[in-house]
C-alpha cells in the first residue's frame, strides 16, 4: 500500500478511484465496513481502491483541553488498512487552516480535483468542511453534480443490537473489559511500542518484563491482563503467551504509566525491539503490596490464571 501525505498530484494510476473517507480511529467493524464497501465498488468497476483520513484527529485540534484516547495511533491504523488490501492511503494534515475550508471547497479541491474520485463511501455520521457543514446528503448532491457515486454506510450493530462505536470500545477498555472491546473491534485490542530498559526488578525476582512507557492519553483500566505479544521481526514474527501489568507500579512508588509484559518460556534480550501486546482478558486491578514477597506470590497466581485464560481462548 502506498501512503501519500497530500491529495494534490496523486499518481495517475490512483485517479478515478473508489475511496472511503473518515477518521477511522479504532478501525472497528463499522469502519471496516465503510472501507470494504469502497473496495467492493473498486473491484466491480476495475478502479483503484483508496482511503482518505486525517491526522491528527480533529478532536486534538478543537478539544485541546480534553486529551484524546486514540484507539489506533496512525501507524496501527495504516497497518490495519493495508491488511484489508487497500491500494493507497492519503493522509491529510488536519490543522486550523484546513478546518476553514468549506464543504463546497472540500468536494471540489479534494474529491474532484485531487482524487478525481468515481465513488465515495463514508459513515452515516461523517461530517466535513467548515463548521461540519458537509454530510452524506451533501455528498450525494455533489456526486450527482460532478459525476461520482456515493454511499453512506448505516450504523453497524453488534450481536446485542447496539451500535458499534469507538466510544463504546473506549468505555469497555476503561471498565477493564478487553474481551467486549475486541468483539466490537473484530480483533484483540493492542498496545504497541519500543521496549525500554527499566529497573530490572522483575528479572531480579524471576519474572523479567519487557516494558513499554505509555503517555497520559492511555485511558484503559490499570491492572493485570492475560496477553499475547508479538515482537516485530518481519516474516519471522510469532505470537507469545504472557501476562502484563499496566499502571504505575505502586509497590515501588512509580510515577509513569508503564506496560510491563512477562512472556512465558521466553528469555531473549529484546530491548529497543518493537512490541505489540494484545490484551486478551482482565485478571485483576493494579494493587500495592507491602513488599517483594507478597508481589512475587501474586505474580505466580497471575501467571497461572493467565495461562488458564489463554488455553480457554484457544478452545
Q: Which residues are catalytic?
A: 260
Q: Give the Cα separation of 120 and 129 in Å (integer).
A: 16
Distance CA 78, CA 127 (A): 21
- Helix 178-185 to helix 166-174 angle (10° resolution) is 160
Which residues, listed in sequence order, are joined to residue 227 by a DSSP beta bridge? 242, 279
CA atoms of 182 and 227, how far apart (whole Å)? 13
Q: Grid coordinates standing for 47?
A: 478502479
Output the nine-digit C-alpha cell for 27.
478501525
Distance CA 282, CA 221 (A): 9
For β-strands 18-21 and 49-55, DSSP reports them as parallel
Is residue 116 within 8 Å of residue 14, measured between CB atoms? no
Q: How many CA atoms lie within 13 A of 91 on its CB side?
A: 16
Task: Give the H/E segment covering residue 267.
Answer: none
Q: Which three cell numbers stand for residue 116?
A: 478525481
Angstrom distance (rounded) from CA 60 to CA 6: 20
DSSP string, 116-140: --SEEEEETT--BSGGG-B-HHHHH
Amino acid at each position: 500500500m502506498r501512503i501519500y501525505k497530500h491529495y494534490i498530484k496523486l499518481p495517475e494510476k490512483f485517479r478515478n478511484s473508489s475511496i472511503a473517507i473518515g477518521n477511522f480511529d479504532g478501525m472497528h467493524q463499522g469502519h471496516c465496513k465503510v472501507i470494504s464497501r469502497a473496495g467492493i465498488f473498486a473491484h466491480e468497476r476495475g478502479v483503484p481502491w483508496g482511503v482518505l483520513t486525517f491526522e491528527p484527529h480533529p478532536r486534538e485540534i478543537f478539544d485541546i483541553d480534553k486529551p484524546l484516547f486514540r484507539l489506533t495511533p496512525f501507524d496501527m491504523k495504516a497497518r490495519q488498512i493495508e491488511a484489508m488490501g487497500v491500494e493507497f492511503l492519503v493522509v491529510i494534515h488536519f490543522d486550523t487552516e484546513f478546518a476553514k475550508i468549506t464543504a463546497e471547497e472540500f468536494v471540489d479541491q479534494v474529491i474532484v480535483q485531487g482524487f478525481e474520485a468515481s465513488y465515495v463511501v463514508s459513515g452515516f455520521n461523517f461530517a466535513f468542511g467548515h463548521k461540519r457543514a458537509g454530510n452524506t446528503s451533501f455528498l450525494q448532491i455533489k456526486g450527482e453534480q460532478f459525476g461520482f457515486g456515493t454511499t453512506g454506510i448505516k450504523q453497524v450493530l453488534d450481536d446485542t443490537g447496539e451500535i458499534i462505536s469507538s466510544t463504546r470500545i473506549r468505555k469497555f477498555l476503561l471498565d477493564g473489559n478487553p474481551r467486549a472491546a475486541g468483539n466490537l473491534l473484530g480483533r484483540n485490542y493492542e498496545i504497541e511500542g519500543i521496549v525500554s530498559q527499566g529497573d530490572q526488578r522483575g528479572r531480579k525476582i524471576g519474572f523479567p518484563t519487557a516494558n513499554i512507557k505509555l503517555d497520559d492519553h492511555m485511558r484503559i483500566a490499570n491492572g493485570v491482563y492475560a496477553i499475547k505479544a508479538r515482537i516485530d521481526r518481519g516474516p519471522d514474527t510469532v505470537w507469545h503467551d504472557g501476562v502484563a501489568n499496566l499502571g504505575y507500579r505502586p509497590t515501588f512508588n512509580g510515577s509513569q504509566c508503564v506496560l510491563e509484559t512477562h512472556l512465558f518460556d521466553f528469555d531473549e534480550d529484546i530491548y529497543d525491539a518493537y512490541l505489540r501486546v494484545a490484551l486478551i482478558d482482565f485478571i485483576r486491578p493494579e494493587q500495592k503490596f507491602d513488599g517483594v514477597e507478597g508481589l512475587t506470590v501474586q505474580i505466580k497466581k497471575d501467571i497461572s490464571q493467565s495461562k488458564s485464560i489463554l488455553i480457554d481462548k484457544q478452545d
